[in-house]
């Protein structure tokens, strides 16, 4: 990828083309449970290069405001969350959910001039989402399947990843790596083990992709050998601009991610598991809380994984030799994150030499680039229609002569009302 394109894609701060583009979609900010109580402690969170403060006000509504007081720039993290807003601890200015200044004790007459930036919020799938774009362009709330399921059916976690969002998200789009870095983990992980999918993925490391452009983004059809008379197809979606869905493994919970820039060098990797038609079992929930599957264990009191770049992700060379962990790192997410962070905080895209399996990544980059530059020219971006997000990943054995796109048209259109296709 050339320098101009790379620079456009990786910079997402205020006023950048990519930043403007991303601000046209609802952005996951933090888990609802992090600000569980009305008038409970406010939480600092950085998104798209902006330092913000999330809180739940007296009425129970979630809000996202600028972290800093308009008076002399004190962090409102140290303020008081009470009686419908946050009061700055320094001289008592008070701000409500909409960022409006509602009290200047020393000079009430200037109140209307002291407001701060605020973004409207909604809650879906246990996540507080904010809309950070122009007020008159706010899209409908996301309809990605897990957003609208009952809380009992969904488990959500967020993890700090110490690299640019693009190289992290590209791991979510590229399913060809599963045959390598996750090769041994799939057999021991409670949320993947015991499925035919594992056998096919391990037996055929040479996945061939068909990729289809769709109203929501891309559908990837990854072909591996199945039984002697069939192919095993893994159907994955990338939902513009930052959602990825994971093809299912047997009867285990379905999964997906969202990749949200914090700044140029960090991103939030959201990991979601869900059952469309039933609750997650107590055992599944316990495994997820323990950091199994696509979730991780954290450094206490943080969203930084316990296995991180300062300890070489707890690499175990014996486990690597013994074929228990392909790279020596344990856990799907840390296997991916360790490799993605090893590229450097921003991958040197000019130096890369892409392969045929990178076709989907190339298409995704082009779509993001085109949309970001298009928006500068006043062209409305794609995938603003939330109803197009009602899709589901699948894994299926099809006769060798079958066309997977025809199969998908029949079985995956409005996927969330169909059966789960999984082997």
Segment interacting with Fe ion (CB under 5 A) among 278-286, 298-306, 331-339, 392-400: 331-339
Cβ-based nearer residue to ligand FES, 51 or 285: 51
Q: Does 390 bind ligand FES (CB under 6 A)?
A: no
Peptide bond preceding 302 in cis form (omega within 30 of 0): no
Cβ-based nearer residue to Fe ion, 48 or 160: 160
Q: Count CB-CB contacts under 10 A for residue 135.
A: 8
Q: Does 265 bind ligand FES (CB under 6 A)?
A: no
Segment interacting with ligand FES (CB under 6 A) among 85-93, 321-329, 333-341, 358-366: 85-93
Size of the site for ligand FES (CB under 6 A): 9
Answer whether 74's CB lies under 8 Å from 68's CB: yes
Q: Count CB-CB contacts under 10 A for residue 403.
A: 12
Q: Does 325 bind ligand FES (CB under 6 A)?
A: no
Q: Does 91 bind ligand FES (CB under 6 A)?
A: yes
Q: Does 258 bind ligand FES (CB under 6 A)?
A: no
The residue within the footprint of ligand FES, chosen from 72, 321, 400, 409 (CB under 6 A), is 72
> What is the closest distance, in whole angstroms, from the C-beta atom of residue 104 to ligand FES in the complex?
8
Cβ-based nearer residue to Fe ion, 284 or 336: 336
- Tokens 């971006």 appear where? 381
How far, in Å, are 38, 56, 58, 90, 97 from residue 83 at the CA level? 10, 11, 6, 18, 11
The item of ligand FES, Fe ion, none sharing an interface with residue 337, based on CB under 5 to 8 Å by kind, is none
The residue within the footprint of ligand FES, chosen from 77, 90, 180, 265 (CB under 6 A), is 90
DSSP state of 379: P
Q: Does 162 bind Fe ion (CB under 5 A)?
A: no
The residue within the footprint of ligand FES, chosen from 93, 201, 363, 412 (CB under 6 A), is 93
CB-count exposure of residue 62 (10 Å: 0-12, 13-18, 19+): buried
Segment interacting with Fe ion (CB under 5 A) among 23-31, 240-248, 332-340, 398-406: 332-340
Q: Does 53 bind ligand FES (CB under 6 A)?
A: no
Q: What letters, b where the CB count within 10 A reaches 16 and e where it falls short, cover 239-258?
A: bbbbbbbbbbbeebbbbbbb
CB-count exposure of residue 356 (10 Å: 0-12, 13-18, 19+): exposed
Which is nearest to 326 in space by CA: 244, 226, 205?
A: 205
| Tokens linked to 233 | 């197809």
Answer whether 91's CB lies under 8 Å from 77's CB: no
Q: Count CB-CB contacts under 10 A for residue 110.
A: 12
Q: Does 341 bind Fe ion (CB under 5 A)?
A: no
The residue within the footprint of Fe ion, chosen from 165, 336, 340, 361 (CB under 5 A), is 336
What are the residues binding ligand FES (CB under 6 A)? 69, 71-72, 74, 88, 90-93
């Amino acid at each position: 990828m050339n320098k101009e394109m790379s620079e456009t894609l990786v910079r997402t701060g205020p006023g950048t083309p990519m930043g403007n583009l991303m601000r046209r979609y609802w952005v996951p900010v933090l888990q609802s449970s992090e600000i569980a109580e009305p008038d409970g402690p406010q939480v600092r969170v950085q998104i798209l290069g902006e330092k913000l403060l999330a809180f739940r006000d007296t009425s129970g509504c979630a809000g996202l405001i600028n972290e800093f007081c308009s008076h002399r720039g004190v962090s409102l993290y140290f303020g008081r969350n009470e009686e419908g807003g946050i009061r700055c601890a320094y001289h008592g200015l008070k701000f409500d959910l909409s960022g409006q200044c509602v009290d200047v004790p020393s000079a009430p007459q200037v109140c209307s001039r002291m407001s701060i930036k605020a973004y409207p919020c909604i809650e879906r799938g246990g996540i507080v989402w904010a809309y950070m774009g122009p007020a008159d362009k706010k899209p409908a709330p996301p309809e990605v399947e897990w957003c609208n399921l009952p809380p009992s059916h969904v488990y959500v976690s967020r993890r700090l990843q110490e690299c640019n969002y693009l190289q992290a998200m590209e791991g979510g789009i590229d399913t060809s790596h599963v045959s390598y870095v996750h090769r041994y983990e799939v057999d021991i992980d409670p949320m993947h083990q015991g499925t035919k999918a594992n056998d096919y993925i391990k037996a055929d490391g040479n996945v061939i992709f068909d990729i289809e452009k769709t109203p929501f983004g891309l559908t990837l059809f990854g072909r591996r050998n199945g039984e002697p008379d069939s192919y095993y197809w893994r159907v994955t979606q990338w939902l513009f601009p930052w959602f990825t869905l994971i093809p299912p493994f047997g009867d285990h919970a379905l999964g997906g991610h969202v990749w949200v820039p914090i700044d140029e060098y960090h991103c939030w990797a959201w990991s979601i598991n869900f059952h469309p038609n039933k609750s997650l079992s107590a055992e599944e929930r316990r495994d997820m809380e323990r950091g199994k599957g696509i979730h991780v264990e954290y450094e206490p009191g943080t969203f930084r994984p316990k296995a991180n770049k300062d300890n070489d992700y707890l690499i175990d060379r014996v486990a690597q030799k013994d074929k228990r962990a392909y790279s020596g790192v344990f856990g799907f997410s840390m296997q991916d994150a360790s490799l993605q962070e090893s590229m450097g905080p921003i991958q040197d895209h000019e130096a890369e030499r892409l392969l045929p399996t990178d076709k989907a990544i190339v298409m995704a980059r082009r779509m993001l680039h085109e949309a970001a530059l298009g928006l500068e020219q006043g062209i409305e971006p794609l995938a603003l229609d939330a109803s197009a997000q009602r899709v589901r990943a699948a894994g299926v054995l099809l006769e060798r002569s079958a066309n997977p796109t025809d199969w998908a048209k029949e079985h995956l259109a409005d996927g969330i009302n169909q059966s789960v296709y999984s082997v």
